[in-house]
Structure 1
Amino acid sequence: MPIKTILLHMANDDRHSARLQAAVSLAKRFDAFVEVLYIATPVTMPAAATGRVASYGFIAESTAIAQEKAGEVEHEVRQALKDCSYSWAVDEGDHVELLARRAAYADLAIVTQSHPAHIEDRVLLHVPDRLPLEAACPTLVLPYDGMPETFGRHVMLAWKNTREAVRAVRESMPFLQAAEKVTVLTVDPPHHTTDTARDVMVYLERHGVRTWHQSNIASGDVGEVVLTCVQDVGADLLVMGAYGHSRFREMVLGGATRTVLQHMHVPALMAH
């Protein structure tokens, strides 16, 4: 399916500009509409605030600051997307729930990798962890430590014969078809055979995607092997399935997916 609607997550964080830059680039590349959703986190009272007057004052001040910040971001968005088709909306609540609701009508969602060392990430910490498992569209997670000028020239597909990986292949087809090179990575051949890789490579070739195969044996964390291979071959975009399991009525990331999201240094396109 072509990418015609991009859902862009915006919030009061120090990496929203990188997401915006990526959205502009992809909107021009795929002639896509950008749906910008700015999400404000609901104001909560600090433990030190006591009394009705103090509470009202804190809430009023926090709300005014949030509105001012949203206005600044909106101005930045309008300048960056002036040559693109886009919409702007502001909402308040749980970031993942609101994004997942709009993702039903998008072809791609853009978020940023969390940096647990940053205090402001405490609110946004679980967005890249939860959204790939809950969104109806694929999620493009951008690294927090900076974006390459271009990405998607050399795509690495982390492949194994699972529903999640198959969906990642189908959902990333516009990126795969536009790439100059696509490397199909299989990890631990005794369990994920070259025959399986051959099947997906033939499938991609029928869609006009020429691929190269790389096989690795994992002695430890599969996610670490994937990231090492990404660096070794010089890939600038990783495509993979997002794996998780249900726990306490919520989806929890699998080990390899969690490792990639914690330590990635190139954009990762994930689908569940």
Structure 2
Amino acid sequence: MSIRTVLLHAAPDSGFDDRLAFAVALARQSGAALKAIYTLYPAGVPRVGRALSIYVNELVHEARQKEAGLKAHFEQAAAAAGVATTWQTVEGEVTSALRNEVTFADVTVVSETPYGTVDDQLAATLPEHLALACNGPVAVVPTGKPVPARIGRVLVAWKPSREAGHAVRFALPLLATAEEVEVLTIEEGDASVAESGARLAAYLATHGVNARHRHAVESPVGTAIANEAQKFKADLLVMGVYSRSRLAEMVLGGVTASLLTEPPVPLLVAH
């Protein structure tokens, strides 16, 4: 399988330029087309009460005003890279709109968005909601960090879970074209995870992936993964998300929550 369609969340938040640059670079590297979904209805705002209705109508009006400039920027960036594009405007809410399109795309690109402008706050929970709701891989691009021109070095945060397995299989087209891939396992009180990581590296080799395995005994796990991503100079971190319930992650904290909140590098995640 190869990547032929990259789906981009288009919105006037502070993360748009970074995720656009990532999506264009990914499409160019993969020979894929780039499709942008621009939604008018704000994420996470219910249609309840007169006051909220007035507020929502104002946000929709602002979204219409901002669309032309955002679309022009999108088309110019893609044209400069020789990437074919499609722009689609949707009346509905962004999470639902993207969820409906993910089945027909190979990768969906969103942002980790800081709480800054109103647009930032409306988009802030999109990565975690989309990762749980979608049946395809989601790329989460950090805001305000360097965007790789090419995905050449990939770190796989591995444990033998269904979610991690899904992420690796979705990532195979990128792993196969990467110059270096590292499979990272963390002890977490289970020595068998190291053997599983070595087996994954061997499996990836059968797909022509230049992979090596590194096992670490460090804690907390989220910090260890983030540190290794920086040390390895990864262009992309591949990982499964929410292998335990999202509620448990919210109450107890966890690897998914910490890395989605502050991605050290762009993430490719799957549930």
Q: Structure 1 residues 255, 62: CA separation in 2 closer, same or farther (over 3 Å shift)? A: closer
Q: Match of 1:212?
A: 212
Structure in which a larger fraction of residues adopt helix: 2
1:39 matched to 2:39? The reply is: yes
Structure 2 residues without counterparts, runs of 5 or longer: none
How far did 1:63 drift? 4.3
Max radius of gyration: which structure?
1
SS at match of 1:24: helix
Q: Structure 1 residues 217, 49: CA separation in 2 closer, same or farther (over 3 Å shift)? A: same
Q: Structure 1 residues 193, 265: CA separation in 2 closer, same or farther (over 3 Å shift)? A: closer
1:80 matched to 2:77? The reply is: yes
Contact 2:157–2:239 (CA under 8 A) maintained in structure 1: yes
How far did 1:100 drift? 1.0
Contact 1:11–1:40 (CA under 8 A) maintained in structure 2: no
Contact 1:6–1:107 (CA under 8 A) maintained in structure 2: yes
- Decide which moves more: 184-193 or 102-111: 184-193
> Percent of aligned positions with the same letter in both sequences?
32
How far did 1:246 drift? 4.9
Q: Match of 1:160?
A: 159
- Decide which moves more: 145-154 or 28-37: 145-154
Matches within 5 A, 1:66-215: 66-82=63-79, 83-116=82-115, 119-188=118-187, 190-191=189-190, 192-215=192-215
Whole-angstrom distance in 1 between the partners of 2:246 and 2:237 = 27
AA paired with 2:100? R
Whole-angstrom distance in 1 between the partners of 2:232 and 2:71 = 38
Whole-angstrom distance in 2 between the partners of 1:84 and 1:185 = 33
Whole-angstrom distance in 1 between the partners of 2:170 and 2:97 = 21
Whole-angstrom distance in 2 between the partners of 1:155 and 1:232 = 12
Whole-angstrom distance in 2 between the partners of 1:212 and 1:75 = 42
Q: Structure 1 residues 158, 149: CA separation in 2 closer, same or farther (over 3 Å shift)? A: closer
How far did 1:40 drift? 2.2
Contact 2:102–2:134 (CA under 8 A) maintained in structure 1: yes
The number of equivalent residue pairs is 265
AA paired with 1:217? V
Whole-angstrom distance in 1 between the partners of 2:239 and 2:56 = 42
Contact 1:8–1:34 (CA under 8 A) maintained in structure 2: yes
CA RMSD of aligned residues (A): 3.0
Whole-angstrom distance in 2 between the partners of 1:125 and 1:15 = 10
Whole-angstrom distance in 1 between the partners of 2:29 and 2:93 = 31
Contact 1:189–1:216 (CA under 8 A) maintained in structure 2: no
Q: Deviation string for 1:100-148 (max 9, x for gaps)?
A: 1110111100001121355532211110111112111101110112233
Contact 2:184–2:216 (CA under 8 A) maintained in structure 1: yes
How far did 1:68 drift? 1.9
Contact 1:186–1:215 (CA under 8 A) maintained in structure 2: yes
